[in-house]
């Protein structure tokens, strides 16, 4: 698919079938994430693929929505604040770096016919416990990865502000 076509047509999917994700597709998605840019090229991330029944159950408890329960895989983009770049004024690039990696994941997934939904509203302290995170480790986003349910209908047109509202030439 053309890149701009991916941008135009990708959307958050909240309806999954339990069809398995092919390993070669998962590898391609993770390869895209691996190639994402990060401040000072620190690559302060780890991509956790939640695959076992036991861990899927636990992670799904951190975001209790009916539609989330069917997804066959969950990708967690985890960061390490000890690895991320810090500016002199204290700014830490970690959240930006992880957001870019997650963006690469959701776009690559769509290109391969797979669905995702960026989830930021999970129960953070629950997820920290489930993953046994250390103090320096952070998660800002997780996503289900799978095929849309057979009854899923793409939303189509995007609900976005008009360019006139959000662009200013100076």
Binding span for ligand FMN by CB under 6 A among 9-17, 48-56, 73-81, 123-131 = 9-17
Find, among 115, 103, 105, 110, the residue nearest to 29 by Cα.
105
Fill in the DSSP letter of residue 88.
T
- Alpha helices in the chain, H assignment, sequence order: 3-9, 23-34, 53-60, 94-111, 124-131, 163-166
Q: Quick one: CA torsion of 11, 12, 14, 19, rounded to 10 degrees?
A: 70
| By the rule CB under 6 A, 120 interacts with ligand FMN | yes
| By the rule CB under 6 A, 118 interacts with ligand FMN | yes
| By the rule CB under 6 A, 119 interacts with ligand FMN | yes
Neighbours of 114 (CB within 10 A): 25
Q: What part of residues 10-29 is at the interface with ligand FMN (CB under 6 A)? A: 11-12, 14
Give 24 or 123: the residue with its C-beta nearer to ligand FMN: 123
Instruction: Provide the minimum distance between the beta carbon of 80 and ligand FMN in the complex, in angstroms, as a whole number.
Output: 20
Binding span for ligand FMN by CB under 6 A among 41-49, 70-78, 118-126, 127-135 = 118-126
Query: Cα separation of 49 and 76, whole Å?
Result: 6
* Interacting residue ranges for ligand FMN, rule: CB under 6 A: 11-12, 14, 117-121, 158
């Amino acid at each position: 698919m053309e890149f701009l076509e991916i941008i135009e047509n990708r959307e958050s999917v909240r309806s999954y079938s339990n069809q398995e994700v092919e390993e070669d597709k998962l590898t391609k998605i993770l390869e895209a994430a691996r190639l994402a840019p990060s401040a000072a090229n620190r690559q302060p991330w780890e991509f956790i693929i939640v695959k076992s029944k036991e861990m899927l159950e636990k992670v799904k408890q951190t975001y209790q929505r009916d539609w989330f329960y069917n997804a066959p895989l969950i990708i967690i983009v985890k960061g390490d604040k000890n690895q991320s770049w810090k500016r002199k004024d204290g700014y830490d690039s970690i959240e930006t770096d992880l957001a870019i990696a997650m963006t690469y994941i959701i776009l690559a997934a769509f290109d391969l016919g797979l669905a995702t939904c960026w989830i930021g509203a999970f129960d953070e302290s629950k997820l920290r416990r489930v993953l046994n995170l250390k103090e320096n480790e952070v998660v800002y986003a997780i996503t289900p990865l799978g095929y849309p349910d057979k009854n899923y209908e793409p939303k189509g047109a995007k609900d976005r502000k008009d360019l006139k509202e959000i662009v200013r030439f100076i």
